[in-house]
Structure 1
Amino acid sequence: MNLDRRMQLFVVLAAVFVTSLVVGDLIGVKLFEVHVGSVVAVMSIGMLPFPVTFLLTDILNEFYGKKAARYVTWVGFFMAIFAYTVIAIAVQVPWAPLTRAPDFKGTVESAFNNVFAGSQRILVASMMAYLVGQFADITIFNLLKRTTNNRLLWLRATGSTLVSQLIDTTVVQFVAWTGVLPTATIFSIIYTSYIVKLLIAVGLTPFIYLGHGIVERKLGIKPVVLGADGEPLPESTEPVSVSVASN
Protein backbone atom coordinates (compact mmCIF):
# COMPACT_ATOMS: atom_id res chain seq x y z
CA MET A 1 0.00 0.00 0.00
CA ASN A 2 1.43 3.36 -1.05
CA LEU A 3 0.45 6.48 0.90
CA ASP A 4 0.63 9.88 -0.74
CA ARG A 5 2.87 12.56 0.74
CA ARG A 6 0.02 14.44 2.37
CA MET A 7 -1.08 11.39 4.34
CA GLN A 8 2.52 10.41 5.17
CA LEU A 9 3.21 13.85 6.60
CA PHE A 10 -0.02 13.81 8.61
CA VAL A 11 0.86 10.46 10.21
CA VAL A 12 4.36 11.67 11.11
CA LEU A 13 3.09 14.96 12.54
CA ALA A 14 0.43 13.21 14.61
CA ALA A 15 2.88 10.58 15.90
CA VAL A 16 5.53 13.10 16.93
CA PHE A 17 2.90 15.36 18.49
CA VAL A 18 1.43 12.57 20.64
CA THR A 19 4.88 11.30 21.64
CA SER A 20 5.98 14.79 22.67
CA LEU A 21 2.79 15.24 24.70
CA VAL A 22 3.07 11.96 26.62
CA VAL A 23 6.83 12.25 27.21
CA GLY A 24 6.36 15.80 28.48
CA ASP A 25 3.80 14.50 30.98
CA LEU A 26 6.06 11.70 32.19
CA ILE A 27 9.11 13.87 32.81
CA GLY A 28 7.12 16.82 34.20
CA VAL A 29 7.89 16.05 37.87
CA LYS A 30 11.40 17.45 37.48
CA LEU A 31 11.88 21.17 38.14
CA PHE A 32 14.83 23.18 36.82
CA GLU A 33 15.98 26.78 36.64
CA VAL A 34 16.41 29.04 33.63
CA HIS A 35 18.28 32.33 34.12
CA VAL A 36 17.00 35.12 31.86
CA GLY A 37 19.00 38.17 32.85
CA SER A 38 18.12 38.91 36.48
CA VAL A 39 15.04 36.69 36.32
CA VAL A 40 15.35 33.12 37.59
CA ALA A 41 12.64 30.94 36.06
CA VAL A 42 11.68 27.78 37.96
CA MET A 43 10.06 25.47 35.45
CA SER A 44 8.95 21.91 34.88
CA ILE A 45 11.16 19.94 32.52
CA GLY A 46 7.87 18.85 30.95
CA MET A 47 8.02 22.00 28.84
CA LEU A 48 11.07 20.59 27.03
CA PRO A 49 8.90 19.26 24.17
CA PHE A 50 7.00 22.58 24.01
CA PRO A 51 8.82 23.92 20.92
CA VAL A 52 8.04 20.65 19.11
CA THR A 53 4.33 20.71 19.89
CA PHE A 54 4.19 24.42 19.03
CA LEU A 55 5.59 23.82 15.55
CA LEU A 56 3.45 20.75 14.94
CA THR A 57 0.21 22.41 16.01
CA ASP A 58 0.97 25.27 13.64
CA ILE A 59 1.70 22.96 10.70
CA LEU A 60 -1.39 20.85 11.35
CA ASN A 61 -3.55 23.98 11.46
CA GLU A 62 -1.98 25.47 8.37
CA PHE A 63 -1.86 22.46 6.06
CA TYR A 64 -4.75 20.29 7.28
CA GLY A 65 -7.22 22.71 8.87
CA LYS A 66 -8.87 22.98 12.27
CA LYS A 67 -10.81 19.70 12.00
CA ALA A 68 -7.60 17.72 11.53
CA ALA A 69 -5.88 19.67 14.32
CA ARG A 70 -8.78 18.96 16.68
CA TYR A 71 -8.73 15.28 15.71
CA VAL A 72 -5.04 15.01 16.62
CA THR A 73 -5.77 16.90 19.85
CA TRP A 74 -8.34 14.27 20.84
CA VAL A 75 -5.99 11.43 19.88
CA GLY A 76 -3.30 12.97 22.09
CA PHE A 77 -5.79 13.31 24.94
CA PHE A 78 -6.83 9.66 24.83
CA MET A 79 -3.21 8.52 24.54
CA ALA A 80 -2.43 10.52 27.67
CA ILE A 81 -5.32 8.72 29.42
CA PHE A 82 -3.92 5.41 28.18
CA ALA A 83 -0.48 6.32 29.57
CA TYR A 84 -2.05 7.35 32.88
CA THR A 85 -3.91 4.01 33.11
CA VAL A 86 -0.81 1.94 32.36
CA ILE A 87 1.26 3.88 34.91
CA ALA A 88 -1.46 3.53 37.57
CA ILE A 89 -1.52 -0.25 37.06
CA ALA A 90 2.27 -0.45 37.05
CA VAL A 91 2.48 1.38 40.38
CA GLN A 92 0.00 -1.05 41.99
CA VAL A 93 1.60 -4.28 40.75
CA PRO A 94 3.53 -5.89 43.67
CA TRP A 95 7.32 -5.79 43.50
CA ALA A 96 9.42 -8.94 43.33
CA PRO A 97 10.96 -9.79 46.74
CA LEU A 98 14.49 -9.77 45.26
CA THR A 99 14.22 -5.99 44.69
CA ARG A 100 14.19 -5.49 48.48
CA ALA A 101 17.53 -7.23 48.98
CA PRO A 102 20.21 -4.84 50.34
CA ASP A 103 22.58 -5.69 47.49
CA PHE A 104 19.99 -5.17 44.70
CA LYS A 105 21.39 -2.67 42.16
CA GLY A 106 18.30 -2.10 40.03
CA THR A 107 15.37 0.30 40.48
CA VAL A 108 13.70 -0.03 43.89
CA GLU A 109 10.06 0.56 44.81
CA SER A 110 10.55 3.94 46.51
CA ALA A 111 12.48 5.38 43.56
CA PHE A 112 9.98 4.08 40.99
CA ASN A 113 6.95 5.32 42.90
CA ASN A 114 8.55 8.68 43.63
CA VAL A 115 8.84 9.32 39.89
CA PHE A 116 5.90 7.54 38.31
CA ALA A 117 3.32 7.95 41.07
CA GLY A 118 4.19 11.65 40.97
CA SER A 119 3.78 11.64 37.22
CA GLN A 120 0.14 10.58 37.66
CA ARG A 121 -0.70 13.97 39.18
CA ILE A 122 1.22 15.73 36.41
CA LEU A 123 -0.70 13.69 33.83
CA VAL A 124 -4.05 14.70 35.30
CA ALA A 125 -3.02 18.35 35.41
CA SER A 126 -1.65 18.20 31.90
CA MET A 127 -4.77 16.56 30.46
CA MET A 128 -7.01 19.22 31.97
CA ALA A 129 -4.87 22.09 30.72
CA TYR A 130 -4.09 20.42 27.42
CA LEU A 131 -7.64 20.28 26.09
CA VAL A 132 -8.45 23.86 27.06
CA GLY A 133 -5.14 25.21 25.74
CA GLN A 134 -5.14 23.25 22.48
CA PHE A 135 -8.69 24.14 21.51
CA ALA A 136 -8.01 27.78 22.34
CA ASP A 137 -4.89 27.66 20.17
CA ILE A 138 -6.75 26.10 17.23
CA THR A 139 -9.66 28.55 17.47
CA ILE A 140 -7.48 31.66 17.72
CA PHE A 141 -5.13 30.45 14.96
CA ASN A 142 -7.99 30.00 12.52
CA LEU A 143 -9.67 33.25 13.60
CA LEU A 144 -6.47 35.21 12.91
CA LYS A 145 -5.94 33.36 9.64
CA ARG A 146 -9.43 34.28 8.46
CA THR A 147 -9.33 37.91 9.61
CA THR A 148 -5.93 38.48 7.96
CA ASN A 149 -7.13 36.84 4.72
CA ASN A 150 -4.61 33.98 5.03
CA ARG A 151 -1.67 36.39 5.42
CA LEU A 152 0.68 37.25 8.32
CA LEU A 153 1.75 33.72 9.24
CA TRP A 154 3.85 35.01 12.15
CA LEU A 155 0.84 36.74 13.72
CA ARG A 156 -1.48 33.74 13.79
CA ALA A 157 1.27 31.31 14.80
CA THR A 158 2.66 33.42 17.64
CA GLY A 159 -0.61 35.08 18.70
CA SER A 160 -2.47 31.80 19.14
CA THR A 161 0.40 30.37 21.17
CA LEU A 162 0.63 33.36 23.51
CA VAL A 163 -3.04 33.06 24.52
CA SER A 164 -3.24 29.26 24.66
CA GLN A 165 -0.03 28.89 26.67
CA LEU A 166 -1.18 31.43 29.25
CA ILE A 167 -4.26 29.26 29.80
CA ASP A 168 -2.31 26.00 29.70
CA THR A 169 0.46 27.18 32.03
CA THR A 170 -1.94 28.56 34.64
CA VAL A 171 -4.16 25.47 34.75
CA VAL A 172 -1.40 22.86 34.74
CA GLN A 173 0.70 24.50 37.44
CA PHE A 174 -2.21 25.02 39.84
CA VAL A 175 -3.53 21.49 39.43
CA ALA A 176 -0.07 19.92 39.60
CA TRP A 177 1.38 21.79 42.58
CA THR A 178 -1.52 22.96 44.79
CA GLY A 179 -0.94 21.42 48.23
CA VAL A 180 2.62 20.49 47.25
CA LEU A 181 4.19 23.93 46.82
CA PRO A 182 3.31 27.29 48.42
CA THR A 183 0.88 29.42 46.39
CA ALA A 184 3.50 32.14 45.95
CA THR A 185 5.87 29.59 44.44
CA ILE A 186 3.16 28.36 42.06
CA PHE A 187 2.52 31.92 40.86
CA SER A 188 6.27 32.37 40.41
CA ILE A 189 6.46 29.20 38.30
CA ILE A 190 3.50 30.36 36.18
CA TYR A 191 5.00 33.81 35.63
CA THR A 192 8.52 32.68 34.82
CA SER A 193 7.37 29.72 32.72
CA TYR A 194 5.14 31.96 30.64
CA ILE A 195 7.91 34.52 30.10
CA VAL A 196 10.21 31.78 28.82
CA LYS A 197 7.44 30.44 26.58
CA LEU A 198 6.94 33.91 25.13
CA LEU A 199 10.63 34.09 24.27
CA ILE A 200 10.54 30.61 22.74
CA ALA A 201 7.44 31.46 20.68
CA VAL A 202 9.11 34.56 19.24
CA GLY A 203 12.40 32.74 18.69
CA LEU A 204 10.68 29.95 16.78
CA THR A 205 9.23 32.30 14.16
CA PRO A 206 12.06 31.71 11.62
CA PHE A 207 11.68 27.96 12.07
CA ILE A 208 7.95 28.23 11.39
CA TYR A 209 8.67 29.84 8.04
CA LEU A 210 11.38 27.26 7.38
CA GLY A 211 8.99 24.40 8.15
CA HIS A 212 6.30 25.86 5.92
CA GLY A 213 8.80 26.30 3.12
CA ILE A 214 9.92 22.68 3.37
CA VAL A 215 6.35 21.34 3.36
CA GLU A 216 5.29 23.53 0.44
CA ARG A 217 8.38 23.44 -1.78
CA LYS A 218 9.96 20.08 -1.00
CA LEU A 219 6.83 18.02 -0.39
CA GLY A 220 4.51 19.96 -2.69
CA ILE A 221 1.74 20.26 -0.09
CA LYS A 222 -0.28 23.47 -0.15
CA PRO A 223 -1.74 25.19 2.95
CA VAL A 224 -5.46 25.19 3.59
CA VAL A 225 -6.99 28.49 2.41
CA LEU A 226 -9.91 29.74 4.51
CA GLY A 227 -12.88 31.54 3.02
CA ALA A 228 -14.83 34.38 4.62
CA ASP A 229 -16.97 31.86 6.52
CA GLY A 230 -13.92 30.25 8.09
CA GLU A 231 -14.28 27.03 6.08
CA PRO A 232 -11.54 25.74 3.74
CA LEU A 233 -11.99 26.65 0.10
CA PRO A 234 -12.58 23.62 -2.15
CA GLU A 235 -9.27 23.95 -4.01
CA SER A 236 -7.33 23.91 -0.74
CA THR A 237 -8.75 20.64 0.53
CA GLU A 238 -7.20 18.11 -1.78
CA PRO A 239 -8.24 14.60 -0.78
CA VAL A 240 -5.88 12.15 0.85
CA SER A 241 -5.43 9.25 -1.51
CA VAL A 242 -4.25 5.76 -0.74
CA SER A 243 -3.13 3.62 -3.62
CA VAL A 244 -2.76 -0.11 -3.29
CA ALA A 245 -0.10 -1.65 -5.46
CA SER A 246 -0.94 -5.04 -6.90
CA ASN A 247 1.31 -7.54 -8.66
Structure 2
Amino acid sequence: MIEFINFFTFQDGLWLFTVILDLFVTLLLYKLFGKRGLYAIVIFNIMLSNLQGPKLTVIFGMETSLGVILYSSIYFATDLLSEKYGRKEAQGAVLLGFIISIIMVLMIYISLLFLPSQTVYSQNVHNAMSVLFNFTPIFVFGSLFVYLITQSVDIWIFHAIKKKTNGRHLWLRNNASTILSQGLDTVLYALIVWAPIVGFWKAMTLAMSKYIIKILIALIDTIFLYWAIEWKESTSWRKKLQLD
Protein backbone atom coordinates (compact mmCIF):
# COMPACT_ATOMS: atom_id res chain seq x y z
CA MET A 1 0.00 0.00 0.00
CA ILE A 2 2.80 2.40 0.92
CA GLU A 3 4.64 1.56 -2.33
CA PHE A 4 1.48 2.35 -4.30
CA ILE A 5 1.08 5.72 -2.56
CA ASN A 6 4.73 6.54 -3.27
CA PHE A 7 4.23 5.65 -6.94
CA PHE A 8 0.93 7.51 -7.30
CA THR A 9 2.28 11.01 -6.75
CA PHE A 10 0.50 14.36 -6.66
CA GLN A 11 1.53 14.78 -10.30
CA ASP A 12 -0.21 11.54 -11.28
CA GLY A 13 -3.29 12.47 -9.27
CA LEU A 14 -3.39 15.87 -10.95
CA TRP A 15 -3.20 14.16 -14.34
CA LEU A 16 -6.12 11.85 -13.50
CA PHE A 17 -8.15 14.77 -12.14
CA THR A 18 -7.52 16.80 -15.32
CA VAL A 19 -8.55 13.90 -17.58
CA ILE A 20 -11.78 13.30 -15.65
CA LEU A 21 -12.53 17.03 -15.46
CA ASP A 22 -12.11 17.43 -19.22
CA LEU A 23 -14.34 14.43 -19.94
CA PHE A 24 -16.94 15.71 -17.48
CA VAL A 25 -16.88 19.18 -19.09
CA THR A 26 -17.41 17.48 -22.48
CA LEU A 27 -20.46 15.67 -21.10
CA LEU A 28 -21.78 18.88 -19.57
CA LEU A 29 -21.50 20.81 -22.83
CA TYR A 30 -23.15 17.93 -24.67
CA LYS A 31 -25.97 17.82 -22.13
CA LEU A 32 -26.60 21.57 -22.36
CA PHE A 33 -25.92 22.28 -26.02
CA GLY A 34 -26.04 18.94 -27.87
CA LYS A 35 -23.77 18.65 -30.89
CA ARG A 36 -22.90 22.37 -30.62
CA GLY A 37 -21.32 21.65 -27.25
CA LEU A 38 -19.25 18.82 -28.75
CA TYR A 39 -18.12 21.10 -31.58
CA ALA A 40 -17.05 23.64 -28.98
CA ILE A 41 -15.01 21.12 -26.96
CA VAL A 42 -13.21 19.88 -30.09
CA ILE A 43 -12.23 23.45 -31.01
CA PHE A 44 -11.25 24.34 -27.43
CA ASN A 45 -9.18 21.21 -26.89
CA ILE A 46 -7.28 21.37 -30.16
CA MET A 47 -6.29 24.99 -29.58
CA LEU A 48 -5.33 24.53 -25.93
CA SER A 49 -3.48 21.26 -26.51
CA ASN A 50 -1.34 23.00 -29.15
CA LEU A 51 -0.45 25.73 -26.68
CA GLN A 52 0.39 23.15 -24.01
CA GLY A 53 2.21 20.83 -26.42
CA PRO A 54 5.73 22.25 -25.96
CA LYS A 55 5.56 21.79 -22.18
CA LEU A 56 7.02 18.46 -21.09
CA THR A 57 6.04 16.87 -17.79
CA VAL A 58 6.35 13.50 -16.02
CA ILE A 59 3.32 11.23 -15.55
CA PHE A 60 3.70 7.80 -13.91
CA GLY A 61 7.44 8.17 -14.24
CA MET A 62 7.28 8.84 -18.01
CA GLU A 63 8.25 12.09 -19.67
CA THR A 64 5.47 13.29 -21.95
CA SER A 65 3.85 16.37 -23.44
CA LEU A 66 1.22 18.10 -21.34
CA GLY A 67 -0.90 18.62 -24.45
CA VAL A 68 -1.65 14.90 -24.68
CA ILE A 69 -4.36 15.17 -22.00
CA LEU A 70 -6.69 17.55 -23.80
CA TYR A 71 -5.73 16.28 -27.25
CA SER A 72 -6.75 12.72 -26.42
CA SER A 73 -10.14 13.93 -25.22
CA ILE A 74 -10.91 15.18 -28.73
CA TYR A 75 -11.27 11.54 -29.74
CA PHE A 76 -13.93 11.12 -27.08
CA ALA A 77 -15.90 14.09 -28.44
CA THR A 78 -15.67 12.95 -32.07
CA ASP A 79 -16.62 9.38 -31.14
CA LEU A 80 -19.67 10.71 -29.30
CA LEU A 81 -20.53 12.86 -32.32
CA SER A 82 -20.11 9.83 -34.58
CA GLU A 83 -22.33 7.65 -32.41
CA LYS A 84 -25.12 10.16 -31.84
CA TYR A 85 -25.12 12.25 -35.02
CA GLY A 86 -23.20 10.33 -37.66
CA ARG A 87 -19.95 10.50 -39.59
CA LYS A 88 -20.70 13.81 -41.34
CA GLU A 89 -21.10 15.72 -38.07
CA ALA A 90 -17.92 14.24 -36.57
CA GLN A 91 -15.91 15.12 -39.68
CA GLY A 92 -17.41 18.61 -39.63
CA ALA A 93 -16.20 19.17 -36.07
CA VAL A 94 -12.69 18.03 -37.02
CA LEU A 95 -12.58 20.39 -40.01
CA LEU A 96 -13.93 23.31 -38.00
CA GLY A 97 -11.30 22.77 -35.30
CA PHE A 98 -8.59 22.70 -37.98
CA ILE A 99 -9.73 25.92 -39.70
CA ILE A 100 -10.22 27.89 -36.47
CA SER A 101 -6.80 26.80 -35.20
CA ILE A 102 -5.17 28.07 -38.39
CA ILE A 103 -6.98 31.40 -38.04
CA MET A 104 -5.95 31.67 -34.37
CA VAL A 105 -2.29 31.08 -35.20
CA LEU A 106 -2.31 33.71 -37.96
CA MET A 107 -3.97 36.27 -35.69
CA ILE A 108 -1.43 35.59 -32.92
CA TYR A 109 1.47 36.07 -35.34
CA ILE A 110 -0.02 39.39 -36.43
CA SER A 111 -0.36 40.47 -32.78
CA LEU A 112 3.36 39.79 -32.26
CA LEU A 113 4.20 42.30 -35.00
CA PHE A 114 2.89 45.11 -32.80
CA LEU A 115 5.67 46.69 -30.77
CA PRO A 116 5.09 46.86 -27.01
CA SER A 117 5.01 50.14 -25.14
CA GLN A 118 8.10 51.19 -23.19
CA THR A 119 6.91 50.04 -19.76
CA VAL A 120 8.71 47.11 -18.15
CA TYR A 121 5.44 45.23 -17.74
CA SER A 122 4.57 45.55 -21.41
CA GLN A 123 8.06 44.45 -22.47
CA ASN A 124 7.88 41.40 -20.19
CA VAL A 125 4.47 40.39 -21.52
CA HIS A 126 5.63 40.79 -25.12
CA ASN A 127 8.76 38.72 -24.47
CA ALA A 128 6.74 35.99 -22.79
CA MET A 129 4.29 35.89 -25.70
CA SER A 130 7.16 35.80 -28.18
CA VAL A 131 8.78 32.84 -26.43
CA LEU A 132 5.51 30.92 -26.25
CA PHE A 133 4.00 31.66 -29.63
CA ASN A 134 7.22 31.72 -31.64
CA PHE A 135 7.90 28.23 -30.35
CA THR A 136 4.51 26.84 -31.33
CA PRO A 137 4.50 27.09 -35.17
CA ILE A 138 6.18 23.70 -35.61
CA PHE A 139 3.91 22.23 -32.97
CA VAL A 140 0.80 23.91 -34.32
CA PHE A 141 1.16 23.33 -38.06
CA GLY A 142 2.73 19.90 -37.63
CA SER A 143 0.15 18.77 -35.11
CA LEU A 144 -2.74 20.23 -37.11
CA PHE A 145 -1.62 18.30 -40.17
CA VAL A 146 -1.41 15.11 -38.10
CA TYR A 147 -4.68 15.94 -36.34
CA LEU A 148 -6.58 16.27 -39.62
CA ILE A 149 -5.28 12.95 -40.94
CA THR A 150 -5.62 10.84 -37.80
CA GLN A 151 -8.99 12.21 -36.71
CA SER A 152 -10.34 11.32 -40.14
CA VAL A 153 -8.85 7.84 -39.76
CA ASP A 154 -10.45 7.53 -36.31
CA ILE A 155 -13.90 8.42 -37.67
CA TRP A 156 -13.50 6.03 -40.60
CA ILE A 157 -12.47 3.10 -38.36
CA PHE A 158 -15.27 3.88 -35.89
CA HIS A 159 -17.96 3.66 -38.58
CA ALA A 160 -16.35 0.69 -40.33
CA ILE A 161 -16.49 -1.32 -37.09
CA LYS A 162 -20.02 -0.08 -36.37
CA LYS A 163 -21.14 -1.31 -39.79
CA LYS A 164 -19.37 -4.67 -39.38
CA THR A 165 -20.91 -5.28 -35.95
CA ASN A 166 -24.37 -3.95 -36.91
CA GLY A 167 -24.17 -1.23 -34.30
CA ARG A 168 -23.20 -3.56 -31.45
CA HIS A 169 -20.12 -3.42 -29.20
CA LEU A 170 -19.76 0.30 -28.66
CA TRP A 171 -16.72 -0.35 -26.44
CA LEU A 172 -14.97 -2.10 -29.35
CA ARG A 173 -15.37 0.64 -31.93
CA ASN A 174 -14.60 3.35 -29.38
CA ASN A 175 -11.37 1.77 -28.17
CA ALA A 176 -10.22 0.20 -31.44
CA SER A 177 -10.70 3.37 -33.49
CA THR A 178 -9.04 5.56 -30.87
CA ILE A 179 -6.11 3.25 -30.07
CA LEU A 180 -5.30 2.56 -33.74
CA SER A 181 -5.60 6.16 -34.91
CA GLN A 182 -3.75 7.41 -31.82
CA GLY A 183 -0.91 5.04 -32.69
CA LEU A 184 -0.68 6.61 -36.14
CA ASP A 185 -1.00 10.07 -34.59
CA THR A 186 1.82 9.42 -32.12
CA VAL A 187 4.27 8.16 -34.75
CA LEU A 188 3.55 10.96 -37.23
CA TYR A 189 3.70 13.62 -34.52
CA ALA A 190 7.02 12.29 -33.23
CA LEU A 191 8.56 12.26 -36.71
CA ILE A 192 7.16 15.60 -37.95
CA VAL A 193 7.12 17.71 -34.78
CA TRP A 194 9.47 16.35 -32.11
CA ALA A 195 12.27 14.71 -34.12
CA PRO A 196 13.52 17.96 -35.73
CA ILE A 197 13.67 19.58 -32.28
CA VAL A 198 14.89 16.90 -29.85
CA GLY A 199 16.29 14.23 -32.21
CA PHE A 200 14.87 10.93 -33.47
CA TRP A 201 15.49 8.70 -30.43
CA LYS A 202 14.29 11.27 -27.92
CA ALA A 203 11.19 11.77 -30.06
CA MET A 204 10.55 8.01 -30.09
CA THR A 205 10.91 7.86 -26.30
CA LEU A 206 8.39 10.67 -25.90
CA ALA A 207 6.12 8.94 -28.41
CA MET A 208 6.09 5.69 -26.45
CA SER A 209 5.15 7.35 -23.16
CA LYS A 210 2.54 9.51 -24.92
CA TYR A 211 0.96 6.45 -26.52
CA ILE A 212 0.69 4.62 -23.20
CA ILE A 213 -1.04 7.64 -21.66
CA LYS A 214 -3.34 7.96 -24.69
CA ILE A 215 -4.41 4.32 -24.28
CA LEU A 216 -5.17 4.94 -20.60
CA ILE A 217 -7.34 7.94 -21.53
CA ALA A 218 -9.13 5.89 -24.20
CA LEU A 219 -10.01 3.22 -21.63
CA ILE A 220 -11.22 5.85 -19.17
CA ASP A 221 -13.37 7.70 -21.69
CA THR A 222 -15.23 4.48 -22.60
CA ILE A 223 -17.04 4.74 -19.27
CA PHE A 224 -18.04 8.32 -20.04
CA LEU A 225 -19.15 7.38 -23.57
CA TYR A 226 -21.59 4.75 -22.29
CA TRP A 227 -22.85 7.29 -19.78
CA ALA A 228 -23.36 9.92 -22.50
CA ILE A 229 -25.23 7.54 -24.79
CA GLU A 230 -27.92 7.13 -22.13
CA TRP A 231 -28.36 10.87 -21.76
CA LYS A 232 -30.89 12.97 -23.58
CA GLU A 233 -29.97 16.49 -24.56
CA SER A 234 -31.37 19.30 -22.44
CA THR A 235 -33.60 20.84 -25.12
CA SER A 236 -35.39 23.04 -22.61
CA TRP A 237 -32.09 24.74 -21.72
CA ARG A 238 -31.27 25.32 -25.37
CA LYS A 239 -34.72 26.78 -26.01
CA LYS A 240 -34.20 29.25 -23.17
CA LEU A 241 -30.99 30.35 -24.88
CA GLN A 242 -32.85 30.42 -28.23
CA LEU A 243 -30.43 27.92 -29.76
CA ASP A 244 -33.14 25.83 -31.42
Partner in structure 2 of residue 81 of structure 1: 102
Q: Stretches of 4+ moved more than 4 A in 1?
A: none
1:4-43 alignment, distance < 5 Å: 8-35=33-60, 40-43=61-64
Contact 2:195 2:202 in 1 (8 A): no
- Residue 94 of structure 1 and its aligned partner are, at CA, apart by 1.8
1:61 aligns with 2:86: no
2:113 to 68, 75, 92: 92
Preserved CA contact (<8 Å) 1:88 1:120 = no
Structure 1 CA distance, aligned partners of 2:199 and 2:68? 21
Q: CA deviation at 1:91?
A: 2.3
Identity across aligned pairs (percent)?
A: 27
Q: TM-score, normalised by structure 2?
A: 0.78
> 1:1-247 to 2 correspondence within 5 Å?
8-35=33-60, 40-99=61-120, 104=121, 107-215=124-232
* d(CA) in 1 for partners of 2:95, 2:213: 27
TM-score for both structures, normalised by structure 1: 0.77
Tell me how far 1:177 sits from its aligned partner: 2.1
Shift of 1:173: 2.6
How many residue pairs end up in the alignment?
Answer: 207
Query: Taking structure 1 as reference, are residues 105 and 127 closer, same or farther at Cα in structure 2, changes over 3 Å only?
Result: closer
Contact preservation (8 Å) 1:158, 1:205 = yes
Determine the C-alpha separation between the residues in 2 that align with 1:6 and 1:16.
Answer: 12
Task: Give the aligned CA root-mean-square deviation in angstroms.
Answer: 2.3
Mark the runs of 5 or more structure 2 residues left unpaired by the alignment.
1-29, 236-241
SS of 1:49's equivalent in the other structure is helix
Report the alpha carbon displacement of residue 219 of structure 1 after superposing the two structures with TM: 5.3
Q: Distance in 1 between matches of 2:74 and 2:219?
A: 15
Cα distance between partner residues in 2 of 1:161 and 1:86: 32
How much does 1:212 deviate?
1.0
Q: Which runs of 5+ in 1 are unaligned?
A: 221-243
Distance 1:90 1:121 in 2: 18
Task: Report the Cα distance in structure 2 between the residues aligned to 1:6 and 1:192, rounded to whole angstroms.
Answer: 33
CA distance in 2, matches of 1:13, 1:173: 27
Larger Cα-atom Rg = 1
Whole-Å separation in 2 of the counterparts to 1:201 and 1:122: 23
Equivalent residues of 2:171, 2:222 under 8 A apart: yes
Instruction: Give deviations 1:76-124, integer Å, cap 9, x for gaps.
Output: 110110111012112222222223xxxx487344322111111222111
Please report how far the alpha carbon of residue 7 of structure 1 lies from its aligned counterpart in structure 2 after TM superposition.
Answer: 10
> 2-side partners of 1:6 and 1:64: how far apart?
14
Cα distance in 2 between the residues matched to 1:67 and 1:116:
33
SS in 1 for 2:67: helix
| Contact 1:125–1:175 (8 Å) recurs in 2 | yes
The secondary structure found in structure 2 opposite 1:43 is strand
